[in-house]
């Protein structure tokens, strides 16, 4: 945190900073717990102008105000600085918490958009996420999620030209593999364990979104990729928002998880690209 950032934080929060402590989380910017003289604790992200922390701040606010999702209130959102309430966490995701999460996510997914996309481009981690309004979901997923991230992986040397050709073949088959959802739903967009906070009894908040309007199964798929949710979540979710769970588990979950797998391929390489290509070869024909 620079002296100038500290001054802006103190102005926004209305008090002098007495202590800072590093917090875990996020793959961009530095995350700090900030305590003020006289009381009050906040979570603060500090970075550079290119980190676009203002987008994250607006996304958190939109999820809460538009989608009813519990997110930390934001006090300052600028490209290099984000200050928000500190949310209690560390309680894990036992069955009762997952059931509570199911209600929150189902309500979020009931929030309808005018089309697929969002009012602005967002970020998934440090990566650009384009959101131009698009009338059909298959076209949006193909042209704004799968193919751009695959090309980014090729550009960074994480995937080969042959891999990209196989991904192109798969994208050409989407009409027979992916259904158009009933309506565009507001999504968290990065629904994995580290972004779901609880006190061990109930959800306390959701953080680090990659917000847009899309197929709700994108959130559901992402929540299975790293074992965030299981039947304790999906049972209550399906009671509120019935969906074709068999088709989701057999086909669409793996197809939709290509996007976060490719994100991880771009960022980290390693086995993520191999995992993505196993799915691609399974469905590309």
User: What span, in angstroms and rounded, lies between the C-alpha atoms of 189 and 24?
Assistant: 20
Query: Do 3-85 and 95-284 share a fold?
Result: no
Whether 270 has a pLDDT exceeding 90, the answer reads: no
Domain positions in the chain are 3-85, 95-284
Is CATH 3.30.200.20 what the domain over 3-85 is classified as, yes or no?
yes
Model confidence at 27, pLDDT cuts 50, 70, 90, reads low
What is the pLDDT at residue 191? 96
Judged against a pLDDT cut of 70, whether residue 153 lies above it is answered with: yes
HSE-CB at 89 with a 13 A cutoff on CA atoms is: 18
Lookup: tokens for 20: 């800072």
Q: Tell me if the pTM is above 0.85.
A: yes
Q: State yes or no: pLDDT of 70 exceeds 90.
A: yes
**Are the CB atoms for 43 and 72 separated by under 8 Å?**
yes
Confidence of residue 25 (pLDDT cuts 50, 70, 90): low
Residue 28 is predicted with a pLDDT of 67
pLDDT per position as a tens digit, 222-252: 999 999 999 999 999 999 999 999 999 999 9
**Residue 46 pLDDT greater than 80, yes or no:** yes
CB atoms within 10 A of CB 192: 17
pLDDT of 75 > 90? The answer is yes
- Report the share of the chain in percent with pLDDT over 90: 89
Average the pLDDT over 122-140 and give the result.
96
Which tokens go with 168?
A: 């192109």
Catalytically active residues are: 190
The overall average pLDDT reported for the chain is 94
What is the band of 88 on the pLDDT scale with cuts at 50, 70, 90?
A: confident
CB 212 within 8 Å of CB 131: yes
Alpha carbon distances (Å) from 252 to 16, 203, 246: 50, 27, 9
Q: Quick one: average pLDDT of 86-101? A: 92
Instruction: For domain 95-284, give the CATH number.
Output: 3.90.1200.10
CB count, 10 Å around CB of 65? 10
Residue 285: predicted pLDDT: 77
């Amino acid at each position: 945190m620079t002296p100038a950032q500290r001054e802006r934080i103190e102005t926004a929060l209305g008090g002098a900073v007495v202590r800072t402590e590093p917090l875990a989380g996020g793959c961009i910017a530095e995350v700090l717990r900030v305590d003020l003289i006289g009381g009050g604790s906040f979570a603060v992200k500090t970075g550079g102008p290119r980190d676009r922390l203002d987008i994250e701040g607006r996304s958190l606010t939109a999820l809460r105000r538009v989608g009813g999702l519990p997110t930390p209130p934001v006090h300052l959102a600028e490209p290099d600085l984000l200050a928000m309430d500190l949310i209690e966490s560390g309680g894990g995701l036992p069955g009762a918490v997952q059931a509570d999460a199911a209600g929150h996510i189902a309500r979020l997914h009931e929030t309808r958009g005018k089309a697929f996309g969002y009012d602005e481009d967002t970020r998934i981690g440090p990566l650009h996420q384009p959101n131009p309004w698009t009338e059909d979901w298959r076209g949006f997923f193909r042209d704004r999620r799968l193919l751009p991230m695959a090309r980014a992986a090729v550009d960074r040397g994480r995937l080969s030209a042959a891999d990209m050709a196989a991904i192109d073949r798969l994208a050409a088959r989407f009409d027979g593999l992916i259904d158009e959802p009933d309506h565009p739903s507001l999504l968290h967009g990065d629904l994995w364990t580290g972004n779901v906070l609880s006190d061990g009894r109930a959800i306390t908040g959701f953080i680090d979104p990659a917000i847009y309007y899309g197929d709700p199964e994108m959130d559901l798929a992402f929540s299975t990729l790293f074992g965030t949710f299981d039947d304790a979540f999906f049972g209550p979710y399906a009671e509120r928002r019935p969906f074709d769970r068999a088709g989701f588990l057999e086909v669409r979950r793996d197809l939709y998880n290509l996007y976060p797998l490719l994100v991880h391929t771009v960022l980290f390489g390693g086995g993520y690209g191999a995992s993505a290509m196993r799915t691609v070869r399974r469905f590309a024909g």
